[in-house]
Amino acid sequence: MTTVMPTADIVLQLNNVEAAYGAVKAIRGVSLSVKEGSIVTVLGSNGAGKSTILKTISGIIDPLKGNIVYRGEPIQKRDPAWVVRQGIVHVPEGREIFPLLTVRENLVMGAYTRPSGEREEIARDIDAVYGYFPILRERAGQEAGLLSGGQQQMLAISRALLARPRIMLLDEPSLGLSPLLTKEIFEIIVRINRERGVTLLVVEQNARIALKYADYGYVLEIGRIVMEDTCAALREKEDIKEFYLGMKETGVRGSRRWKKKKTWR
């Protein structure tokens, strides 16, 4: 039986949202809720529509149908800059840092929508993100394009923090990273959630890591939500074990045993 999230603390809600690229419909009647202070993940393979969900929330794509409610107010079809000013900040797939600017200049760009009189506060916030990612302090004067993939992901998350988000939308934060770096990034994501009170909506192909660190999860297939539950419950579902965690059930003397098999991440 699907767990129903309580409605009192819902900060972001999608209701029957559809979006398309030209004639190609990418998401079909997606409904999901994000509880304030939680980490929510959307799982699915390439082409399932995960990134489209985030782009529709952040205003990059206008939905064809449905509505997006943030703190009780509809925000669909609003300008992306307006969305950022409301506290919803998008970290896109592929990082999208400014490669010719220095690390520090990239961080300052993250504070672009903040009032010009907050220079001292912005400096303190930059120092705070260095606490999460000390390597960025060491590379502060270096061109961002010279960073490794993992360091660029750290910079992209840090730049988003400079906008002082209430909700952070993370698109494939593990993409192209080693298992060790992926673990490090997700541990920092949890720290940001717990220490700064930032709500996170994370889309991921790496179901194993997402289900370990998130609170609640949705499974997206061909643009539709096909399953949702707490991450603890999803980890125990047979379909998740077989198709998303790379394990297949085998019968051994009348008992259940699971073995690993090769599937997508």
Residues of the chain with CATH 3.40.50.300: 10-234
Q: Which two tokens stand for residue 21?
A: 């690229």
The predicted-structure confidence for 82-110, as pLDDT tens digits, reads as follows: 999 999 999 999 889 999 999 999 999 99
Other CB atoms within a 10 A radius of the CB of residue 255 amount to: 6
The predicted-structure confidence for 32-65, as pLDDT tens digits, reads as follows: 999 999 999 999 988 899 999 999 999 999 999 9
Closest CA to 21 of 54, 57, 50, 63: 63
Note the pLDDT of residue 265.
Answer: 46
Is residue 185 within 8 Å of 177, Cβ to Cβ?
yes
Is residue 42 within 8 Å of 53, Cβ to Cβ?
yes
User: Candidates 1.20.120.1200, 3.30.70.100, 3.40.50.300, 3.60.21.10; correct CATH number of 10-234?
Assistant: 3.40.50.300
Is residue 16 within 8 Å of 65, Cβ to Cβ?
yes
The predicted-structure confidence for 242-259, as pLDDT tens digits, reads as follows: 877 765 555 444 444 545
Note the pLDDT of residue 247.
Answer: 58
Residue 262 has pLDDT above 50, yes or no: no
Strand bridging mode 88-91 / 167-171: parallel
Note the pLDDT of residue 117.
Answer: 79
- Distance of alpha carbon 170 from alpha carbon 189, whole angstroms: 10
Average pLDDT, the chain: 89
Q: With bands split at pLDDT 50, 70 and 90, how would you rate the model's confidence at 6?
A: very low
Q: With bands split at pLDDT 50, 70 and 90, how would you rate the model's confidence at 201?
A: very high
The predicted-structure confidence for 116-129, as pLDDT tens digits, reads as follows: 778 899 999 999 99
Note the pLDDT of residue 8.
Answer: 56
| Mean pLDDT, rounded, for 151-162 | 96
Note the pLDDT of residue 258.
Answer: 46
- Concatenating the DSSP letter of every residue in 59-125 gives TSS--SEEEEEETTEE-TT--HHHHHHTTEEEE-TT----TTSBHHHHHHHHTTTS-GGGHHHHHHH
Is residue 125 within 8 Å of 85, Cβ to Cβ?
no
Q: Which two tokens stand for residue 138?
A: 């060491």
For the whole prediction, is pTM greater than 0.85? yes
If residue 25 lies in a helix (H) or strand (E), which one and from where to where?
Answer: strand 24-35
Q: Which two tokens stand for residue 88?
A: 């919803």
